Amino acid sequence: GLIGNPMSGLHLGADLSTSTGERQTLSLPDGSQLVLNAQSQADVRFDSQLRVLEWRGGEGLLTVVDESRPFLVRIEGSTVSARSARLLVAERAGQCRVCALAGVLEISSQGGDRVQLRKVHAVNFDRVSIASVELLRPGEGAWVDGLLEVRDSPLSEVVDALRPYRRGVLRLDPAVAGLRVSGLFRLDQSELVFEALARTLPIRVSRHGEYWLSIGAV
């Protein structure tokens, strides 16, 4: 992997990507830093006037340095503008979320909606609409340290966070998807997470071969 390696020879349009269960810390050509979660992708388009990150999916923690040129993240038809900022970017199945950890962000949609995001605030959006701004959730961005912190969150959220860390099929019965979960889990140890959940929730975890796991009601 490229953990911690400056990507000094990065060419324009290079794809940055991580595979299942892999996190990477990457240096961008301008000195900004990007931490990519598992199964995440972005393209870099930098020139003398503009810095653009084309988001292709997954989660990232971006630390933008140098205010001399605008830095844009293009994600699902919307544009996030950041000059000197620290932000979390996420997109899975067309659902996007951006969190401002430091600095001020501006999000503009294809339809012309504009939202300003100040630190410790977040917003969800898709190609159609931008939701109202909300406060950062506790534990948001814990994946950077390989952790999943949830407080009274639906089981579906836990399962979705573990998907990029597992090969094969992970099936969740809608009947138990809304069960509430609180805890601190290790993303790299999903088998142990499922064992712990099966002990504390009314669920049954079934395995069918090496690459098929299903979670249903007891």
- CA of residue 87 relative to chain centroid, distance: 11
Checking if the pLDDT of 179 tops 60, the result is: yes
CB count in 10 Å sphere of residue 20: 12
For residue 211, give both structure tokens.
Answer: 């690459």
Mean pLDDT score, 182-196: 96
First vs last C-alpha separation in the chain: 41
For residue 24, give both structure tokens.
Answer: 């990477």
Give one word for 181, left, alpha or beta, with left for phi > 0 and alpha for psi -120 to 50: beta
Mean pLDDT of the chain: 92
Tens digit of pLDDT for each residue in 99-138? 999 999 999 998 889 999 999 999 999 998 899 999 999 8
Checking if the pLDDT of 89 tops 90, the result is: yes
Q: Is the pTM of this model over 0.75?
A: yes
Checking if the pLDDT of 13 tops 50, the result is: no
For residue 76, give both structure tokens.
Answer: 């699902």
